[in-house]
Chains A and B, each alone.
Chain A
Amino acid sequence: MSRGRGGRGGRGGSNKTFTRDQLNDLGIGAKDAIPAMVTQPPPLYPLMDRKPLPFTPSVETDYLLILRQDFIDHMQLSPSYLKLPISKTANQPEQEIDKLVAQIPSAKEKYDWSLFPSELRPKALAKRLKNPMGKQADINIQEKLTALEKIEESKGVVVKEEELEAEEEEELAMDEDDQDEEMDEGTDYANNYFDNGEAYEDEDDNLDEGPIY
């Protein structure tokens, strides 16, 4: 019985098992039989000792219930209620009502994207938002180039190489962009494929950053 105290370095509060002394204090004599250890899990549906009081129906609870149901109905019909993507192997909807439900156009929610992290934006929108940034970057490069030219006049060859590199990088970036667009113009299938590939790479990046929990 006295698996008792300490041992596992707990916080020192009393554990569930009692020592003989404690049992004595609680009024269990040496003669009293201690119930055997219970090794079975408790029943799934334990019997109720007492019957709970019935509800007192009131207009207010009725109204609250209606409000509750209204809200749930509204949510289920709203675009926020996302349905599982129907896989091709799944059977066609059996009930007519299901067919009707499937016909309801699933309108997409409109969001104010400035409130959300950019990674959640749909692909097309993200690009549109990025473009003005790209223009800005262009201007910067132009400015930088002119600045570099000025320095170049005074310093000479070394800077020229750097400039070349910068231009090359820009070209590369442009290429990538072009590729993106080609992929996007394709079918859904192509889109999906591209998406997955990107995710795979990103995951790798994350692994480097820290442990996974």
Chain B
Amino acid sequence: MSITYGKVVSLIISERFGPVVEKVANFLFKCQNSPLLFIKKGTDLPISKIRESLCVLIKYRLVRFKANKNENLANYTLDSDNVLLMLRYPKYLNHAKKSFGDESEMIIEEVLQRGYWTASELILKVYERLSTKYLTRLPYPKQDKAVPILTVDESEQNHLPNIDIKVLVMHQKGGKTDLPDKKVYWVVNFDRFHQDMRDHVICTAFSKKFDDNAGDIIRIFLRQMYIRTDPWTDISNPIPALEVKDILKKQAPSSHSLAFFDQYMSIIEQDNSKLLRKAGEASGGSYQIYLKDAFTQFVWELIEQIVLEKYDSKAARIFRLVKLKPYIEPDQLQQLAMIPAKDAKMLSYQLYEDNYLHIQELRKASTNSGPTKNFTLFHIKLNSVVRMLLETCYKTLLNTMIRRNNEKLLNKRIIDKKHRIDTILMAMRDQNATEEQMADIEEMITLSEKEILEKVNKVMKNLGTVELEVDDTIFMLQMFLVYQ
């Protein structure tokens, strides 16, 4: 909950909901928890606007509310993590498209854009999504109160509504019938997407490290895991290897992954991510999936990579050394790193200054005789490094967003011109204008302006890509924190 984080959140909201909502969200971020009238006092907006913006925020599940002591009033809280997830929406869509095809992408898009929706309007195709928990029931009020208490039972969460196609058709033809699931709304279940993205991360890690066959085997293991285990546990229940082998036999009877199954299993088991570990020898061996350990390992590798890119390979060597020997004396570090002592000192100080290394002091109880001996040891607190990096990621996001807004502002005139000409061209096309007329209009953008536009577009694209890539890193770091 740092200032940078707050700024990122506010920029994301202003881009999507405009300045009014941003102001309200900003105030909520500062106060964490505030009733309506305090928001009015803090933001200086007319109360109707505040009402509207709170409705918008609640609709998109960015604000939660709870009854105040006085039960007619509510306290509003900004769900800043959900705001950050808005950056990940394209990835959810892409994932849905990849796993289920275009229709499901459209469904998810629709729900994301509307915040929530009833199933009737999304009709039958939703069935598939619901049964795989990509959508979940929006909590609803059970009693009629001034500040509704929104709840949803676990059994109802994925319970399919009865959809009567006859009624639907009637409704479409303009009949006045009420849809049966009038008050049953559905929202996108981010958790389910994160689960899939997590699995995807694991599979690609193994595909990259070994080959695609290893990735396939891991994918099947993960799928089998869900039969026996809750998806977010640290360690899964044992999965028999024979089961995986059977599936492979059915799927790809002549693939390498089947022919060299045992070899693949042994290299995956020996991999230092320690994702799969043998649980028992019975019936061809069974394996447990250690998700927590695997993600700890992934995050280690991620951090090593960051150190490498930021401070070069010598610093990375020092960092790895401290990781290998969790508590290490500076002298020893300089000897083992096989780098000139002066360089080693410099680099370790630099890493310490930027919070990648930490110092642990060990004090011996002072005895009456002889000098007391203190040890100062280098060491890495993974948890705090991860949080520090998350903070850096937010900072990066903030910088890219500010840069993008600035770029837009600087070239506002040209961008607006382009927009206007585009709309004119569209209108002309509708009226069947001749090619010559169209060309005339098109020439209104001069060559130099075109160049600038191209440049701006390129910068925008780059900044957009940064946003997506940084979000990948954030996802990885957050996954690590989920398992803590």
Q: Which residues of A contact B (CB under 8 A)?
A: 14, 21-22, 25-27, 49-50, 52-53, 55, 60-61, 63-65, 67-69, 71-72, 74-76, 78, 80-85, 95-97, 109, 111-112, 114-122, 192, 195, 199, 202-203, 205-206, 209-210, 212-213
Contact = CB atoms under 8 A, between A and B. Distances in A.
Contacts of B144: 114
B18 A116 contact: no
B465 A112 contact: no
Contacts of A71: 16, 89-90, 109, 112-113
B406 interface: no
A50 B310 contact: yes
B309 A52 contact: yes
B69 A209 contact: yes
B52 A82 contact: yes
Given A80-B56, A111-B55, A118 B309 contact: no
B462 A84 contact: no
18 contacts: A25-B376, A68-B89, A75-B16, A80-B16, A80-B59, A81-B16, A82-B19, A85-B46, A85-B49, A97-B416, A97-B419, A112-B183, A115-B58, A116-B55, A118-B146, A120-B55, A122-B48, A199-B37
Contacts of A26: 330, 345, 349, 376
B465 A209 contact: no
A95 to B, nearest CB: 6
Contact of B330 (A25, A63, A68, A122): A25
Interface stretch (B70-78, B276-284, B293-301): B70-78
Contacts of B147: 117-119
B466 to A, nearest CB: 8
A202 B36 CA distance: 10
A82 B17 contact: yes
B116 to A, nearest CB: 8
Contact of B420 (A75, A97, A199): A97
B480 to A, nearest CB: 22
Interface string B76-95: 00000000000001110110
A213 B38 CA distance: 10
B56 A109 contact: yes
A192 B46 CA distance: 9
A109 to B, nearest CB: 7
A55 B53 CA distance: 37
Contacts of A72: 15-16
B72 A119 contact: yes
B60 A80 contact: yes
Among A49, A53, A111, the one with the most B-chain Cβ atoms within 10 Å of its Cβ is A111
Contacts of A192: 46
Which residue, B37, B53, B60, B375, has most C-beta atoms of chain A within 10 A?
A: B37
Given A26-B330, A119-B73, A65 B361 contact: no
A74 B113 contact: yes
Contacts of B69: 209-210
B468 A212 contact: no
B20 A82 contact: yes
Given A26-B349, A72-B16, A97-B420, 15 more contacts: A26-B345, A27-B334, A49-B310, A65-B464, A67-B89, A68-B90, A72-B15, A76-B15, A76-B18, A84-B18, A116-B58, A116-B148, A119-B74, A199-B47, A203-B41
B65 interface: yes
A81 B374 contact: no
Contact of B37 (A55, A60, A206): A206
